[in-house]
Amino acid sequence: MRAITINHVAEAAGVSIGTVSKALNGTGRVSAETRERVRREAARLGFVPRRRADSGAAVDLAYSVGVLTTDSFGRFTIPIMLGAEDTLGPGRVTVLMCDGRGDALREQFYIDSLMRRRVDGIIVTGRGNDARSPIRGTGAVPVVYAFAPSTDPDDYSIVPNSHRVGALAVEHLIGGGRRRLVQITGYESQAATVERHSGASAALTAQGLQWAAAPQFGEWSERWGREAAIRLVRDGVDFDGAFCGSDQIARGFVTGLRESGVDVPGQVGVVGVDNWDVMVEAARPPLTTIDLNLAEIGRRAAMVIIEAINGEPVPKGSEKVEPSLIMRDSSASPAPPVSVTR
C-alpha cells in the first residue's frame, strides 16, 4: 500500500497543501466548512500528520509555490528563488520552476499546469525589469511579480530601486574624488537603463557636474564594455570615473582600459551593477558593484504569499527594494587624480 501524504489529502479535498496544513494544525484563516472537509478526507484516507518528538506539535505545514520566469540562465531568478525559500523555511516549501522563455503559449501551459497542481502561490519573474503583461487563469491563487513588474496597477510588484542604483554608483565615484564621469550601459529603451541613467544624472547634477561624454548605450556584454573603453580613450575623452550598467559591461570596460594603457583604479575608477560573483571576482582588479538585493526581493515576495495563504489580501501597486554598494578594488580613490588624456 502506498503511504498517504498531505498531497493526497489536498487532492481529495480540492484545496492546496497549505490549506490542508492550516486545517489540520488549527492555524491560519480557513473557513469552518473547508476545515471540516479537509479533516473528513484526512480521516477517510487514514492520513496521520508527522509530529515533532519534543513537543507533539504537527509539522506537516508545507507550501507549494510556482516560479514562472523568462530567465533561462537563472541569473536573476535563482537568487530570488533562494530568498523565497529562506523565508518559507527549509523543508516547508516545494518550488516548481517554469521557464516560459518569453513565449505566451508556453507560459500559459505552465500556468495551467501549476493550477492543476494546486499551488499555494505564484511568483512571476524574468531576466529584466521591463514591465510585463499580467498572467491570467490563476483564480484566487495569490500572484506576486518580483523583479519584472506587472503592467496592471492592481497587481503587486516588488522591484529594485533602479533610480537609486544609478545615484549610488555616481555618489560613490564622486565621493572618491572622481569628477569627470562617463556612463556605459545597455539598451537605451529598457526600463533599467532609463531609470539608472536618470538616477545617475540627478546625482551628478546635484554636485554641479556634467557627464564627460554622452552616455554610451549598447548591449549587455563584456564585448560592448571593452569596445566602449577603447573608443573613449581613442577619441581623447578626459574621464576619471565610469558607471557601467552591469558587471559584464564593467569587466569588459576594465579590460579595454588595460589594453589601452589606462590604469584602474589609478586613473579611472569603475563601478558595475549586479554583484555577479563570477564577474566581479574574476575581473582584474575585482569590481566595485551595486547589489540589487535580489534575495530580499524574493524574501518579500514569499512573505506576501504566506500572508495571502493566511487570509490577508495581496497588496496592490509596487514596492521598491533598495540596492547596496559592494566596495572592491576597481574604484579605490586616486591619489592624486590623474587625467586619462594621453
**Range of weakest confidence among 59-68, 161-170, 305-314:** 59-68
Rounded CA separation 4/84 (Å): 28
pLDDT digits (tens, 9 = 90+) for 7-64: 688 888 888 777 787 788 776 677 889 889 999 998 898 887 655 444 545 445 567 7
Tell how far CA 315 is from the center of its chain.
19
What is residue 62's predicted lDDT score, i.e. its pLDDT? 62
**Three cell numbers written together for 63:** 507550501
What is residue 195's predicted lDDT score, i.e. its pLDDT? 97
- Structure confidence at residue 59 (pLDDT): 45
pLDDT at position 239, please?
98
Which of the two residues, 96 and 172, has the higher pLDDT score? 172
Q: Take residue 31 and report the three cell numbers written for it.
A: 473557513
Q: What is the pLDDT of residues 200-233, one digit of tens each?
A: 999 999 999 999 999 999 999 999 999 999 999 9
Distance CA(308)–CA(34), nearest Å, equals 16
Q: Give the residue carrying C-alpha cell 560613490.
A: 172
pLDDT confidence tier of residue 337, bands split at 50, 70 and 90:
very low
Q: Identify the residue with better confidence: 58 or 288.
A: 288
Q: List, in sequence order, every residue forming a beta bridge with 86; answer none if it has no partner.
A: none
State pTM to two decimals: 0.81
Q: Do residues 90 and 63 lie in contact, with contact meaning Cβ atoms separated by under 8 Å?
A: no
Separation CA 52–CA 55 (nearest Å): 6
